[in-house]
Amino acid sequence: MSIIEKDLNPDVFIGVSLPLEYGKQGFFNKTKTFLEQTKSNVKNLLLTIRGERLGNPTFGSDLMRLLFEPQNDDFEAAIEESIRSSMDEWMPFVKIRDITVTSSPRNPNLMRVRLQFSVNVDQTVQTLDLDLATADAEAGGSGTGSETGGLYS
């Protein structure tokens, strides 16, 4: 069964979405399409610290480590490079269209990363917003129609 056939079949679920929580479908919310699952997998990859996963110490990214580094002129470039290297290693079928890094004007302990991407089987551009908190700041949702993720979501 091809990806398109699975996406169009209402009885087929592709995977589990993150964060793991109780939802309408039971204990784990399921994804119905390849793009939904890819977005969830990207979020999982980027918010996992390298070395955090037992048995797979190279999985993840260095985003969380970068947050605690001193911010200098190339801070946004370092975040972008961390995202690109993790995506190239673990999800080479995902094409990154744009990465935007901004700091929150209301909270200096919050970095917002907007990642726009597509996959090789569907050129539809997907948007993933990540609110990366560096202290006890709450990460809230932003953007309409996009998935928001962070330490506290």
pLDDT in tens, 103-145: 878 887 788 999 999 998 888 899 999 888 754 433 333 333 3
Six-digit token string for 2 = 């091809």
pTM of the model: 0.75
Pinpoint the alpha helices (H) of 16-105. 34-47, 63-67, 75-90
How many angstroms from the chain centroid is the CA of residue 36?
A: 11
Six-digit token string for 78 = 């370092």
pLDDT in tens, 45-94: 999 999 998 999 999 999 988 888 877 888 889 999 999 999 999 999 99
CA triple 103-105-109, angle to 5 deg:
55
Residue with tokens 């990465």: 99
Q: How far apart are CA 26 and CA 36, in angstroms?
A: 18
Mean pLDDT is lowest, of 14-23, 86-95, 98-107, for 14-23
